[in-house]
Amino acid sequence: MISRINSAVLNGLEVVATEVEVGFSRGIPGIVIVGLPDNAVKESRERLKLAVSQANFDYPQATKIVINLSPADVRKEGSALDLPMAVGIIKNRYRMESPAFADLLFYGELNLNGDLNPVKGVLNISLYAREKGFRGIVIPFENRVEAQFVKDIEVYALKNLTQVIQLIENPAAFTPCHAEIIKEPIGFCDNDFSEIKGQYMAKRVMEIAAAGFHNVLMIGPPGSGKSMISKALPSILPDMSDDEILETSLTYSAAGLLGQKGGLVCRRPFRSPHHTISDVGISGGGKYPVPGEISLAHNGVLFLDEIPYFKKSALEVLRQPLEDGKITVSRSLTSSTFPARFMLVAAMNPSQDSVGLGEAGGYAASHSQKHRYYAKLSKPLLDRIDLQIEVKKVKLDEITSLAMAESSADIKKRVVGARNLQLHRFKNLKKKIFANGQMRNAEIRKFCPLDESGGQLLRLAVDKFDLSARGYFRVLKVARTIADLDGVETIAARHVQEALQYRSLDLARF
């Protein structure tokens, strides 16, 4: 008798159907697992013996057990196949027959007591099971919250192997989890712009960045508020759409970060990795491919504080995702693609030691010192940053002022209004674009009309500052966003002038 149990494995965010075949044969007693299992799957042999016995089932000690993981040409990774393998052994041992074997998908890790441990990727697997027409899915109890999001499929979140077999024998005795959307602010910063004193230009730049999905670089002395301003950025970004919530939650589920408490990621993530992070930590991957920081920041903000201290190779990883909104990690046996559409916000000091700062926050470091420090950022990376600003120290009068600054809620209203204009503008494009920062040259030519004075000013700037073609288009993108915040379709001279103001740092230093 051959038992066949339905399961699946994750390859990045992609779900691969896996059929677990279990058969008994003559030979040296023990468990043989074939079908490209990795070490974690192979190690389950000892767990299976004790788990089945501890769950009060008769484990066939004197029998050779062969387990095939089909398809055999796809590598199987992780411990989530423990449950289907154990169910297959018990089915064979007791010659069980039940429609549940065909109707249910089994996914979970077992410990030595036969209890089910939480695993990664349950949301991804649950959506796959619904798509493939399974009646239900059997998962560990601690993964129940993320699976409850999936409607039109029965989710059985059980605590141990004994309950799983009872479910197979008597499905009517168990009630599936009710579909419920629980939203959790994972990795979210709730700083408010009203708490930030002064820094009016930096706040304005963040408003423009949020409205047009532009990347930002801030240069200023320590204590000038760069980090605080960056952490407040998510509070003015538009709310996530249902599609964005699902995309982000699938990424966090695959990384094992949804956890027992948190359902879906409903607020835009804010990721702030330390500058010692490795290339793989930024991009994702590893022996078992998992999302990196750029994917965990998907639909949110990636904040790199003291960006020159990051390894150059780690920073260069950012270049392609900033263009494509995704990253493909290739290994010898597999490749995985993760989403990576994020806003990059970077901060740095004016020089490595930040000495010689004047009272107003001016820079007294020598030109050669600054040049060496800025040279750590490659030109291709800087070309992908639309807004570059100088952040000076806040004056004492502003710090002690009792006047309330504008709140994030008020700024967000303007941002949402501008973003809605952009969504309407781009709705008929073949290439999916939702913000000005994503426009390519063809879209810029089409959607960035200049009035006469605006065109004259931009031509003058090109001649005076020797702007490259890339710089020219970057100014137009930012000016388009500023015009959207004003609620006008034609870009005027005042919009171009302000956009050029946020390029002055680039022009002066690089």
pLDDT digits (tens, 9 = 90+) for 385-443: 999 999 988 887 877 777 778 999 999 999 999 999 999 999 999 888 999 999 999 99
**Does residue 431 lie in a domain region?**
no
Strands 335-339, 326-330: pairing is: antiparallel
With beta carbons less than 8 A apart as the criterion, state whether 8 and 105 touch. yes
243 lies in the same domain as 303: yes
Q: Mean pLDDT over residues 458-474, rounded?
A: 87
Tokens of 51: 């788990």
Inter-CA distances, 97 with 18, 168, 172, 227, Å: 20, 9, 16, 61
Please name the residues in contact with 371: beta carbons below 8 A apart, sequence gap of 6 or more.
none
384 lies in the same domain as 502: no
Inter-CA distances, 209 with 88, 153, 203, 212, 225, Å: 54, 40, 10, 5, 17
Per-residue pLDDT band for 181 (boundaries 50, 70, 90) equals low
Type of residue at 487: G
Residue ranges in 233-328 assigned as alpha helix (H): 242-254, 279-283, 293-296, 312-316, 319-324
Task: Give the domain range for residue 484.
Answer: 439-510
**Does residue 218 lie in a domain region?**
yes
Q: Mean pLDDT over residues 345-350, rounded?
A: 93
Strands 116-117, 183-184: pairing is: unpaired
106 lies in the same domain as 167: yes
- Which phi-psi region, left, alpha or beta, contains residue 104 (left: φ > 0; alpha: ψ -120 to 50)? beta
Is residue 86 exposed (0-12), middle (13-18) or buried (19+ Cβ within 10 Å)?
Answer: buried
158 lies in the same domain as 200: no
With beta carbons less than 8 A apart as the criterion, state whether 143 and 125 touch. no
**Does residue 429 lie in a domain region?**
no
296 lies in the same domain as 342: yes
Mean pLDDT estimate for the chain: 90
45 lies in the same domain as 129: yes
Among the residue ranges 114-123, 196-205, 212-221, 369-378, the one predicted with the least confidence is: 369-378
Q: Rounded to two decimals, what is the model's pTM?
A: 0.89
**Does residue 144 lie in a domain region?**
yes
276 lies in the same domain as 154: no
The residue ranking higher by pLDDT, 185 or 435, is 435
pLDDT score at 353: 67
**CATH number of the CATH domain containing 467:** 1.10.8
Q: CA–CA separation, 344 vs 387, rounded Å?
A: 11
The answer on pLDDT for 362 being more than 80 is: no
pLDDT score at 186: 56
Per-residue pLDDT band for 485 (boundaries 50, 70, 90) equals very high
**Does residue 180 lie in a domain region?**
no
Q: CA–CA separation, 273 vs 293, rounded Å?
A: 7
Q: Mean pLDDT over residues 60-69, rounded?
A: 95
Q: Mean pLDDT over residues 223-231, rounded?
A: 92
Q: CA–CA separation, 301 vs 230, rounded Å?
A: 9
Among the residue ranges 122-126, 352-356, 461-465, 505-509, the one predicted with the least confidence is: 505-509
62 lies in the same domain as 105: yes
pLDDT score at 262: 59
pLDDT score at 261: 54
With beta carbons less than 8 A apart as the criterion, state whether 134 and 6 touch. yes
Is residue 256 exposed (0-12), middle (13-18) or buried (19+ Cβ within 10 Å)?
Answer: middle
The answer on pLDDT for 25 being more than 50 is: yes
Q: What is the DSSP string of 461-477?
A: HHHHHT--HHHHHHHHH
219 lies in the same domain as 358: yes
Type of residue at 424: H
Among the residue ranges 149-163, 354-368, 458-472, the one predicted with the least confidence is: 354-368
Pick from 199, 200, 213, 201: nearest CA to 481? 213
Type of residue at 492: A
158 lies in the same domain as 203: no
pLDDT score at 259: 64
The answer on pLDDT for 179 being more than 80 is: no
161 lies in the same domain as 60: yes
Q: CA–CA separation, 400 vs 162, rounded Å?
A: 65
Per-residue pLDDT band for 504 (boundaries 50, 70, 90) equals low
* Phi, psi dihedrals of residue 41, rounded to the nearest 5°: -70, -40
| CA 170 to chain CA mean position, Å | 40
pLDDT score at 163: 98
With beta carbons less than 8 A apart as the criterion, state whether 296 and 251 touch. yes
Q: CA–CA separation, 340 vs 337, rounded Å?
A: 9
Strands 64-70, 30-34: pairing is: parallel
Q: Mean pLDDT over residues 170-177, rounded?
A: 93
Q: CA–CA separation, 228 vs 147, rounded Å?
A: 35
Please name the residues in contact with 463: beta carbons below 8 A apart, sequence gap of 6 or more.
none
Q: CA–CA separation, 361 vs 172, rounded Å?
A: 71
Question: Tens digit of pLDDT for each residue in 267-296?
Answer: 999 999 999 999 999 999 877 788 999 999
Per-residue pLDDT band for 180 (boundaries 50, 70, 90) equals low
**CATH number of the CATH domain containing 116:** 3.30.230.10
Structural domain ending residue among the three candidates 142, 173, 204: 173
Structural domain ending residue among the three candidates 368, 387, 408: 408
**Does residue 151 lie in a domain region?**
yes
* Phi, psi dihedrals of residue 271, rounded to the nearest 5°: -110, 135
User: Quick one: CA torsion of 324, 328, 329, 332, rounded to 10 degrees?
Assistant: -140
Structural domain ending residue among the three candidates 121, 143, 173: 173
Per-residue pLDDT band for 510 (boundaries 50, 70, 90) equals very low
Q: Mean pLDDT over residues 483-509, rounded?
A: 86
**Does residue 428 lie in a domain region?**
no
Please name the residues in contact with 46: beta carbons below 8 A apart, sequence gap of 6 or more.
none
Per-residue pLDDT band for 182 (boundaries 50, 70, 90) equals low
**Does residue 347 lie in a domain region?**
yes
Inter-CA distances, 442 with 12, 245, 383, 429, 448, Å: 33, 30, 18, 11, 10
**CATH number of the CATH domain containing 354:** 3.40.50.300
pLDDT score at 508: 54
Q: Mean pLDDT over residues 294-306, rounded?
A: 97
> Across the strands, what pairs with 157?
139
Per-residue pLDDT band for 148 (boundaries 50, 70, 90) equals confident
250 lies in the same domain as 372: yes
pLDDT score at 358: 46
Q: CA–CA separation, 226 vs 345, rounded Å?
A: 10
Number of domains observed in the structure of the chain = 3
pLDDT score at 357: 45
Q: CA–CA separation, 273 vs 33, rounded Å?
A: 39
Q: Mean pLDDT over residues 30-57, rounded?
A: 93
The answer on pLDDT for 13 being more than 60 is: yes
* Phi, psi dihedrals of residue 200, rounded to the nearest 5°: -65, -40
What is residue 304's three-state secondary structure?
Answer: strand
